Structure 1
Amino acid sequence: MDMVQSNQLEIRHISPEVRKLIKMYADVNNCTQSEMLERMILEWDSQQSQSERPPGDEDE
C-alpha cells in the first residue's frame, strides 16, 4: 500500500477545520486532498530530519 492509500484511511482522524484547510490547499495546488496530505507529511518529515542533525555534519 502506498502513502496516498494509507493517508486516505487516516484523513478521517483529522479535525474538520484542518481537513477544510487541506482541501483549500489541494484546490490551489490542483491536486487531491490525499496528495496534499502526502506532500505535507513529506515536508514535515524532511524538516524534522534536518532539525535532528547535529551541527557541523554538513561537510561529512
Structure 2
Amino acid sequence: MTVLGLRTTPRSRQDLARRVAARHPASRPWSTVQTAAYRRVWEELESACEADVQLAA
C-alpha cells in the first residue's frame, strides 16, 4: 500500500480505484512495482468481498 501512497486499507475496490486515481495522474506511467501493488490490493479486496458474501448466505 505504501507504493501506492495509501495509509489505510481501502473499503472496496471502487474506493481503491478512486484513491489511487487521485494520487497517480494518468499522464504518468506506472512502474512494474506500482502495477503489482495495485493488483495485490485489488485481489485482497476481492477476496474480502467474496468472504462477506459467503458469510451473509
* Greater helix fraction, Structure 1 or Structure 2: 1
Return the TM-score normalized by structure 2.
0.45
Return the TM-score normalized by structure 1.
0.43
Higher relative contact order (CA 8 A, sep 6+): 2
